[in-house]
Amino acid sequence: MSNRTGDHDAFLTPSEVAAALGVSPNTVTRWAREGRMPYQMTLGGHRRFEATVIDQLRRHLQERGGTSTSVPTVGIPAGSRVV
């Protein structure tokens, strides 16, 4: 995942999430749109994902035997809070 420091290291871009989960950025965006992954919107209208939630999801998928095209819905509702 990202090596960023500072206030913004708690959030990842769709590309960073895709790299962590082994899927395409389009898949990450689709999962977010479908409400399967919580996200927040920037002032510019871009999705950002909490690194801790993505790390939990990555570990869950690894325990199940790798990435999955059917990601389970994460227990935190998708939102549109500005970060």
Q: Count of alpha carbons within 13 Å of 11, Cβ hemisphere only?
A: 15
What's CA 34's distance to the chain center, in Å?
A: 13
Q: Report DSSP letters for 30-75, one per residue.
A: HHHHTTSS--EE-TTS-EEEEHHHHHHHHHHHHHTTS--SSPPPPS
Q: What is the pLDDT of residues 13-69, one digit of tens each?
A: 999 999 999 999 999 999 999 999 999 999 999 999 999 999 998 998 888 876 545
- Domain coordinates in residue numbering, the chain: 1-83
- CATH second-level architecture of 1-83? Orthogonal Bundle (1.10)
**Total-model pTM:** 0.69
Q: What is the pLDDT of residue 64?
A: 81
Q: What is the pLDDT of residue 63?
A: 86
Q: What is the pLDDT of residue 74?
A: 53
In the block, tokens 């898949």 appear at 27
First to last CA, the chain: 19
Q: What is the pLDDT of residue 78?
A: 47
Q: What is the pLDDT of residue 35?
A: 93
